[in-house]
Amino acid sequence: MNESVFQKDITLIAAASENNALGKDNQLIWHISDDLKRFKRLTSGHAIIMGRKTFESMPKALPNRKNIILTRNRAYKANDAFVAHTIEEALEFASDDPQPFIIGGGEIYSLFLPIAHTIELTRVHDDFEADAFFPEIDPQEWNLNAVEKYTSSPEQPYAYSYLTYKKQNQ
């Protein structure tokens, strides 16, 4: 395997609640317009790696990004996306990007967490019922480097924060 695929700033990007809920029935639980704009700004021009269910939850491949789907299904085909069957294969598709983004879902985040360097997490300050969850962030492995807090409003009923974590000793 090409060791250079691990010499990247692999970044997990997610929005998760206080109880680490990501989604339910293959749908996001909340709609935070500013968070979606931030996601677009951070990921545009980059490779994005996702699981099959995440890809299928979107209307189409996300524009201005190299869409890479990680699936165990060897027969899976997708329009405007690369299909990978291993972490290494997914990272090979992203080899021209110094900062590929991992965009979900829960299983995919868990697979990439051990080799990630950065986490861009929108923490929604509430608990939700869900069937997909973001993995626990171990404070022994990760430093919280930046926090931006936003309060709830009539247009946005949930308070949330943007949290940037960096893996220690990197």
Convert the pLDDT of each residue in 21-35 to its tens digit. 999 999 999 999 999
Asked if residue 2 has pLDDT above 70, the reply is: no
pLDDT of res. 5: 52
pTM summary value: 0.94
Does an H or E element contain 89, and which?
A: helix 87-93
CA distance 78 to 58: 12
For residue range 61-112, list pLDDT tens digits in order.
999 999 999 999 999 999 999 999 999 999 999 999 999 999 999 999 999 9
38 phi, psi to nearest 5 deg: -65, -45
Domain residue ranges of the chain, discontinuous segments joined by +: 3-167
Domain 3-167: top CATH class: alpha beta
